[in-house]
Structure 1
Amino acid sequence: MKVVFDDRYRIVYDTDPAAAPGRIDCIVDELKGLYEFVKPRPAAESDILLVHSKDHLEHIKNRELLYDIALLAAGGAIKAAELAVQGEPAFALIRPPGHHASRDSCWGFCWFNNIAIAVEKLRTQGLVKKVLIVDIDLHFGDGTNNIFEKNPDVFYYHLYNLKGLEQCLSVNTDCELVAVSAGFDMHVQDWGCVLSTEDYTTIGRMISGHARKVCNGRFFAVLEGGYNHRVLGKNVRALLQGFEG
């Protein structure tokens, strides 16, 4: 398991909770020394335009610091996806998050849809065709769903409980890649007050087990939400431990 990371993700680029100081640091502190960290390159404009309109890109471009970090976040997701198709599962420790970003709009601390960009780049390169996206964030990834809702080859699933995840995996047996929007705000000490830290290990084990069974272990994850800095790093570590089986 590799972790895609750049120190520039620590930059406080906005005033929202996803951009808060210390949020990325608490995760790095938990993972450093346990996993190999690899650096991404910023996404190109052509990558962004795979799922977003030119008008949307130009709108974000007007905020220079945010734009630069958002390109780097999308690039981090792309790097994780590229590692995954090479048989090396990866976690993109990135921000801003992305699953609320649609083709022409965005909200919820998201600007570019990182996971959608990464998935569509692999698909346009012919590296994969059918992809399962599992979103474990507290909030429904309306942007991801909007981008792929008319595409029969990309299935979006939002986690409500572990039984539902089990059912989702049982019917998605022909995917060539599993992509995970890894939000942690459903934790009992975060906004959602639902999942335990141990549940993230279980989720990771279920997803990685499915990927090993149906698509040669090709899966990756990208950071979405999660706002309680006291438990966020531990929850990310729990998910990655589950990914390792």
Structure 2
Amino acid sequence: MKVVFHEDFYTVYTNEPAAAEGRIEAVVAAIRDKAEFVEAVPADEDDIRAVHTGMHVMRIREKGLYDISALAAGGAVQAAEIGLVEPCFALIRPPGHHASADSCWGFCYFNNMAVALTALKRRQKIQTAFVLDIDLHYGDGTVNILDPEDWVRIHNPEERRRHEYLRNVAHVLSNIAVDIIGISAGFDHHREDWGGLLETEDYYEIGFLVRETARRSGGGCFALLEGGYNHDVLGECAAALMAGMSA
């Protein structure tokens, strides 16, 4: 399976958990033998400004975080484009789903998912899209940017019991037929992470359900790394999701 990645994502760019040393290394160690790595390139600023205001972009520059954030957004665009042909995972950071058009929080700066899907739509590569956000935290930025659009639908499962959560994901996907499905792949719902809910094998099931939905609707699928902060389990969770998407 192709994985969009760049060694600059090893950089500890802030003191936030998403930027912690060892986090990206843990995923690479778990997927190294299962992945075909594709080097990420920065997003065009036009693609970033298609979803973020000029003032927001300027603030990220002033923080000294533009280059790493643009690289993450560019990796997301690449993963979405590859996802039209075959499943793809973007091992990127900073994450993005808490970034709105003119603000951000929660370790996010640019909304990687919104940049990627909007870029594909602007280039007429897709007409419809679906976002499944499985992060522990509600992806408010993605909703703020994309929910007003009539070509994309977003779902953040909110169940607090494991089997109900998985049933909800399966039920929602059973009614989806779109050109592409993007997974905001946060792994902090894991039993040994902040959320304490899902098992490692549940990420395989979610990946498999997304892949089957994409096949049924004749579309593509991709995933972007969002949260996940227990380095002892993060890599295996990512590997499980990838295996399900590749099945």
Residue 102 (structure 1) shift: 0.4
- Give the match for residue 222 of structure 1: 224
Comparing 128-137 with 161-170, greater Cα deviation is found at: 161-170
Name the residue aligned to 1:201: 204
**Equivalent of 1:158, from 132, 156, 159?**
156
What is the one-letter code of the residue matched to 2:231? Answer: H
Equivalent position SS for 2:155: strand
Correspondence for 2:185: 182
**Structure 1 residue 129 displacement after superposition:** 1.1
SS in 2 for 1:186: coil
In 2, distance between residues paired with 1:187 and 1:84?
A: 25
Structure 1 position 67, deviation (Å) = 1.4
Q: State the partner residue of 1:71.
A: 70
Q: Which runs of 4+ in 1 moved over 6 A?
A: none
Unaligned runs of 5+ in 1: none
1:4 aligns with 2:4: yes
1:85-113 CA-partner distances (Å, limit 9, x unpaired): 2x121100000000000001000000000
How far off is 1:202 after superposition?
0.7
Instruction: Indicate the residue corresponding to 1:29 in structure 2.
Output: 29
Code of the residue aligned with 1:71 in structure 2: it is A
How many percent identity over aligned positions?
48
Measure the CA separation in 2 of the matches of 1:120 and 1:88: 19
For 1:231, the aligned partner's letter is V
CA contact (8 A) 2:128 2:152 kept: yes
TM-score, structure 1 length as denominator?
0.96
Code of the residue aligned with 1:43 in structure 2: it is A
Distance 2:44 2:201 in 1: 37
Give the 3-state SS of the residue equivalent to 1:48 in structure 2.
helix
Q: How many residues align?
A: 241
The answer to which of 163-172 and 37-46 deviates more is: 163-172
* Residue ranges of structure 2 left out of the alignment (5+ in a row): 159-164
Alignment of 1:13-28 (within 5 A): 13-28=13-28
Instruction: State the alpha-carbon separation in 2 of the partners of residues 92 and 222 from structure 1.
Output: 5
Is contact 2:50-2:115 (8 Å) kept?
A: yes
Q: Over residues 96-149 of structure 1, what are the superposed CA-to-partner deviations in whole Å (9 max), with x where a residue is unaligned?
A: 000000001000000000011000000001110110010010011000001012
Q: CA RMSD in A?
A: 0.8
Selected match of 2:140 from 133, 139, 142: 142
Name the counterpart of 2:161: none
Name the structure 2 match of 1:82: 81
8 Å Cα contact 2:87-2:246 kept in structure 1: no
